[in-house]
Structure 1
């Protein structure tokens, strides 16, 4: 039965790939058909199939709809006003073209600490495309280091939800996890980011164009917003989210703390940032309200396609969980007597491959491994959190929302996304795991 479940899971993933590439179905259709195939073939009762699919779609899109819409609007304002171009010119002037991948990696790493991966992509994207237009380089050379910075932080570093959940389940020390994760994440991110981008950009040249954020490089230089306003517009959501994250640790009245947490939640931070952009990048630059409305409508339309894909990916993920695939993988791993760090890494990796969600993989694996390590002595719980986080990043493919976001936003084909994003995630995963094993020898 276990082998059968794994086989039909593999077949369902093949259905997604063939549906999109061979039959030219929309990814939403492919993911939905693959999810239904898996649900029926795994023996999930008919009355549970639709409920599982809807739960998965709702759970995935619940916090993403507003974030994606507002992030795209903010990106459009940064693009149309020329703010993205101003920042691009600033970076090119300060770092020079040869060091741009390093600048993008650091930007992604810093922005990624307080924000979710999806929000980080939306903040970085206008910058990536503006720099690409100004420098005329392969977009992968600029985009991949930024994405690597975001991803490694999302997988390993608190306060991201997966890391926080694992810390609670293992009973690890948050301060030590933060310290160790930063020591491990920086070299892993450098290898998966600037160094991998330098290697792959000579071998993969995307045929498509990024469709969701268009940059007008014919803008009159005199009418561009200042560099300061441009930076503040892109960093506004980050600043608000940092304030929200830091609020519980500040000595402020309880009411003010609640207010900071409220404005620091991703959707409120992005809403405030949009109004900031409407005024400083819109009205102050002579753009009238009708034009701003037109920009908003133009950029909202393509988001519908991405939301459908991400939602269907969530439905697929939930069916994978409901059909018992995650449990099968966990029980197989438990049967092998491995070191706790290796066990946590493998279980998280297998669940990540099956469900597509780094957070689900991290929290599920931690839930499985926690009772096992409770019976052992001498286990470094902080490095166990990091090893589990490293496992949760590997082999991103068609059931991962991040896969589709990177594909759609950078204008890549499925094959190009596998060659770039999937390889990048796997480099981050294994490098971070090796880093945890090395650090385990010394601490």
Structure 2
């Protein structure tokens, strides 16, 4: 067996056909991608969302401005490069910023509101590879722009939960929190910062770095000492405005009405600085410690911050790899409708023509291109999962017929050598 000089970049993986190599994770099999994307596409259509596709790279400053200088993504994880024109660009680490940029640039605020959009595609983050987390990973996401209604928050969570439910994600609970509005932040952040400053020597380095940029992000720290200090920190809920409380109450009432399992989690802040009011994270307890499958939140100031109108928004992203790890995914085996077994050289063009006719009728077909023996061709038909084999040899050509064999039931019948007759035999 040949040995390649090259390997895929660290933190990436290949998606290969089912018979390639040894046992693989669900996200390394193309049929699983087709399955989960079909679920998402149908579900988005039922909720009246329309698809968007944005570039996989943007101006680096877009992500700095939107995600936030204090975020781990900007500080540690972005793939940033300078192009030949001297522009600083970044591979997209998340989907919201690019969609909102397109919304502003293309004047989508003129569309009927709310504008409900969805997307799927690769994201890029330089982080330590873990199960289901890669430096290139794919997300399915949605953005709703133009409505501040708390029921829109509920719809976003219901949509995320619905996609996961249809995929068979196990033991899922939506963790939800209220980060408050601008007035809430103005009340709370100085108090939190003052408390953290008293304990600066005991904070982890990342939390110290965030003290002057976004102290709220301290709650996202994984450091045990920092988390212990936060137990006695001022509580955000005590500084909420009446408007923020009313909004969150409507959100939880909506979740109750839909029967979606959720848990209010005061420590949930998510990783992006643009979030306001509602933030949420879908967690599958079947995954163990790395239990996040997807999440999102409201970003009422983001559109304005990147130069657009004062327009509220909310969105979510869910990693395809994480969904497939948490899902009760079916054991999908790709099937071929017809495999042509040719027993004479002169049968090859006949088989080629018949295959073209069947393909134009919507059937999948293949034939031998390696000059295999009859036995090897039947073996290949089995390997491809063919439902039927169509056998054409010298005797069949002389009788203007072919043999159609049911590869699963075992029956065999002689059929006139025409596309219509073969189609009837394999479609019945």
Larger relative contact order (Cα-Cα within 8 Å, sequence gap ≥ 6): 1
| Greater helix proportion | 1
The TM-score range, normalised by the shorter chain, is under 0.3
TM-score by length of 1: 0.24
Q: Which structure would you say has the larger Rg?
A: 2
TM-score by length of 2: 0.24
| Greater strand proportion | 2
